[in-house]
Amino acid sequence: MAVRTETASLRRPSPALRWVRENLFNNWYNSVLTVIFGALFIWVGFSLLRWVFFRAEWEIVRVNLTLFMVGRFPRDELARIWVSNYMIVGAIGLMAGAATASAAAAAKEAGLPFVQSKLQDLIQRFWPVLLLVAALLQFSRTWTPTIMTVGMVVIGVAARFAGLHLPRVIRRYAWVLVALLLIGAYGALVWFGGFGWDDWGGLHLTLFVTVAGIILAFPLGLLFALGRRSTLPLVRLLSVTYIEFIRGVPLITLLLMGAFALKFLLPPGMDLSLVSRLVVAIMLFTAAYVAENVRGGLQAVPKGQTEAGQALGLPAWKVMRLIVLPQALRAVIPAMVGQFISLFKDTSLLVVVGVFELLAVSSIANNQPEFLGKGLAEVTLPFVAVIYWVGAYTMSRESRRLEKKLGVGER
Amino acid sequence: MTQNNVYSDATQARGDVIIEVQGVDKFFGDFQALKNINLNVGKQEVIVVMGPSGSGKSTLIRCINRLEKHDAGRIVVDGVELSDDIRNIQEIRRETGMVFQQFNLFPHLTVLDNITLAPRQVRNMPKNEAEEMAMLQLERVKIPEQAHKYPGQLSGGQQQRVAIARSLAMQPKVMLFDEPTSALDPEMIKEVLDAMQELAESGMTMIVVTHEMGFARAVANRVLFMADGEVVEVGTPQHIFENPDEDRTKLFLSQIL
Ligand SMILES: Nc1ncnc2c1ncn2[C@@H]1O[C@H](COP(=O)(O)OP(=O)(O)O)[C@@H](O)[C@H]1O
Ligand SMILES: [Mg+2]
């Protein structure tokens, strides 16, 4: 008996093999499909790898790498961009460190376990970004970017360490330091004979317009969402009119207006640069959608929550800020991040009004004498597409992570 | 006031009056939910409100802390008359705790933060002090060990006790309960009623909408029976349960027993 059961268990296929049999080859037509799609998959993968590593002529990207990254930013002033990046990385590191330290302290006070995130988690979260940076660095023909990038990593790690070990009293004001660093990051580009937005370009400008658009559109959208629920009829009417007007107009129309019409709407003395007018247009556009998302979240919060807050004697604005909004915003994180991902991708529309952002660089590169007429859009467009994908995919994954993390109360 | 007339005796509050409801009407559109309600509640008194569904019990106690606005009559709580003045309303809400059928805990905050929120935000109490006081309230309802959990991680009975602790943290003079045990599984009703009974014994003034007869008999000074937006009768628990004057009361009691 014992011998028999032993042989039976020996013959039992491994779990992986069983999964394959149960899911891929469980009947004849599924088996056929598996074979066909398997072959297709292998062929596409093979062709893609062959193209990337042997066929594609990456020369156009190598030669124009700086152009893709920063557009026409003066080449002898590139140090400004690195300094700016250092400050941004420093700010992020400091914030991450201080936040971790606060969370750990809170957990300790509450007597709860606290798991600090490991390097492995970071790699898992940001592998597309890391791969992209590695790819960009190998395109570079000098060592400077690699050295500078290593410098950024070092500064980021150091800032995080500093944030973790700040004395408690100072840690509470870490955000002031973070804000100063971010202002400094902007100033490094603009102050002391620096360059305004209209001289920025490439991926740098794309990222800036995205971040600026999000930072401006979010509070404005929030205001319109609250306005739409206001008890004052005039405020409500204004909000509804704004939201419905913007949602009825294509973004490209607003961008063209920003480029060519807004100038005449501005009062004489006031002169906004082209890029600022476009950022305003993007902000106005996104805010309307953010407002609708937030409104959905507000409606999803049960009335009992407001009543409980009121019954405790909290004034209306505190009920909104401390009880209703946190729950409403949490409920709409996926929708809102989706909106921000759209914003990120839609910055490519700026190419139409002659702004030097990432997509524009690809056509400029293709029109350079040495590359003209060689059909190299088949190289530059996939290159640009991958950069957009990395950004969009990372935002989407981070949103899911945030959602899960905040969902702790819903259990 | 004659001693043998239990009814007229029990319609009146004993001692100092802390809640006065005089001639209150409430309309939802054309529908009249409260019809000329009169009720005086004395300090440390416990009033149980009963009546069929839709009779206006919730509306009555929600008018007392202005979750609903009454359309006629006067409501005075601890010497402050409810008016459209938001400061009056806030003052009364600070003095009046409310416990809801659906608990209405804040799901995004821990139990401790649920309790400290109002003392810190309304009374400007420092964090440490608020947390100490919150722990005292949690001990009072016998769940201090749940302080750092989220509401969603607790049973219904525990959630309702947190809701009671949350109200008590504002040190109210009056507590309003709207069917606090109706959403609970039977095995959890007792723990909540016990907490309420202890609260009553500590001298809290309470208006409790509930159909728990045992609780009413043990704790209530007076039982108020409502139907169709009216107070049908008021009396001691014995009087209302054993010898009611009105047919509507008799019918209702025969249905819930
Ligand atoms: N916000 C409201 N709008 C319209 N009608 C309401 C509203 N709230 C309560 N009512 C009506 O008022 C009556 C009394 O309701 P309520 O006080 O909740 O009764 P009870 O608590 O005794 O069951 C019911 O008929 C109910 O439908
Ligand atoms: Mg009710």
Rg (CA), chain A: 26
| Domain region containing A393 | 200-411
Q: Which ligand is nearest to the CA of B50?
A: 1
Nearest by CB to A409, from B118, B152, B167: name it: B152
Q: Same structural domain for residues A262 and A369?
A: yes
Distance from CA of A289 to the nearest CA of B (A): 25
Residue nearest to atom 25 of ligand 1 (CA): B54
Q: Same structural domain for residues A269 and A333?
A: yes
Sheet holding B72-77, edge to edge: B31-42, B17-28, B72-77, B80-81
Q: Same structural domain for residues A274 and A177?
A: no
Q: Same structural domain for residues A288 and A368?
A: yes
**Residue A93 placed within a domain:** yes
DSSP β-ladder status, B17-28 and B72-77: antiparallel
Helix orientation angle between A274-300 and A233-247, rounded to the nearest 10 degrees: 120
**Residue A162 placed within a domain:** yes
**Residue A60 placed within a domain:** no
Return the pLDDT at A411. 42
Helix (H) or strand (E) holding B119: helix B111-122
The phi, psi pair for B96, rounded to 5°, reads -125, 115
Q: Same structural domain for residues A257 and A296?
A: yes
Whole-number Å distance, alpha carbon A260 to ligand 1 midpoint, is 57
Contact list in B for residue A113 (CB cut-off 8 A) is none
Nearest by CB to B150, from A312, A318, A411: name it: A411
Residue nearest to atom 17 of ligand 1 (CA): B56
* B41 vs B19: CA distance, rounded Å: 5
**Residue A113 placed within a domain:** yes
Return the pLDDT at A378. 82
Q: Same structural domain for residues A362 and A266?
A: yes
Token digits for B99? Answer: 């416990």
Whole-number Å distance, alpha carbon B59 to ligand 1 midpoint, is 6
Instruction: State if residue B59 touches ligand 1 by the CB under 6 angstroms criterion.
Output: yes
What total of structural domains would you count in chain A?
3
Name the region of A344 (left: φ>0; alpha: ψ -120 to 50; beta: rest): alpha
Whole-number Å distance, alpha carbon B69 to ligand 2 midpoint, is 16
Q: Which ipTM score applies to this complex? A: 0.92
- Give me the residue label for tokens 């030669």: A63
Q: Same structural domain for residues A222 and A307?
A: yes
**In the Cβ-directed half-sphere of B191, how many Cα atoms lie within 13 Å?**
18
Among residues A195, A225, A242, the one where a domain terminates is A195
> Helix, strand or coil for residue B121?
helix
Contact A312 B107 (CB under 8 A): no
Q: Same structural domain for residues A204 and A352?
A: yes
User: Which atom of ligand 1 is nearest to B68's Cα?
Assistant: 1
**Residue A24 placed within a domain:** yes
The CATH number linked to A324 is 1.10.3720.10
Contact list in B for residue A326 (CB cut-off 8 A) is 108
Contact list in A for residue B122 (CB cut-off 8 A) is 312-314
DSSP β-ladder status, B96-99 and B174-178: parallel
Instruction: State if residue B30 touches ligand 1 by the CB under 6 angstroms criterion.
Output: no
Nearest by CB to B106, from A111, A305, A318: name it: A305
Q: Same structural domain for residues A150 and A231?
A: no
Ligand 2 is an ion; its neighbours by CB within 5 Å are B 58
**Residue A57 placed within a domain:** no
Within chain A, which residues score under 70 in pLDDT?
1-13, 263, 408-411
Can you give the pLDDT of all 257 residues of chain B as single tens digits?
Answer: 333 333 345 566 667 899 999 999 999 999 999 999 999 999 999 999 999 999 999 999 999 999 999 999 999 999 999 999 989 999 999 999 999 999 999 999 999 999 999 999 999 999 999 999 999 999 999 999 999 999 999 999 999 999 999 999 999 999 999 999 999 999 999 999 999 999 999 999 999 999 999 999 999 999 999 999 999 999 999 999 999 999 999 999 998 87
**Residue A63 placed within a domain:** no
Residue nearest to atom 4 of ligand 1 (CA): B28
Q: Same structural domain for residues A25 and A87?
A: no
* B101 vs B82: CA distance, rounded Å: 24
Tens of pLDDT, residue by residue over A175-187, are: 898 999 999 888 8
User: Any long-range contacts for A243-250 (C-beta under 8 Å, 24+ apart)?
Assistant: A243/A288, A243/A291, A243/A292, A245/A288, A246/A284, A246/A285, A246/A287, A246/A288, A247/A288, A247/A289, A247/A292
* A16 vs A28: CA distance, rounded Å: 20
Sheet holding B174-178, edge to edge: B96-99, B174-178, B205-209, B46-50, B222-227, B230-235
pTM of the model: 0.85
Q: From the candidates A112, A307, A312, which should be mutated to test the interface with B, based on the most B CB atoms within 10 A? A: A312
**Which residues, 6+ apart, have CB-to-CB distance to A126 below 8 Å?**
A394
* A129 vs A340: CA distance, rounded Å: 18
Q: Same structural domain for residues A161 and A258?
A: no
**Residue A226 placed within a domain:** yes
Cβ(A288)–Cβ(A242) below 8 Å: yes
Return the pLDDT at A11. 64
DSSP β-ladder status, B174-178 and B205-209: parallel
Among residues A167, A195, A223, the one where a domain terminates is A195
Q: Which ligand is nearest to the CA of B227?
A: 1
User: Which atom of ligand 1 is nearest to B229's Cα?
Assistant: 14
Return the pLDDT at A291. 95
Among residues A195, A224, A257, the one where a domain terminates is A195
Q: Same structural domain for residues A80 and A129?
A: yes
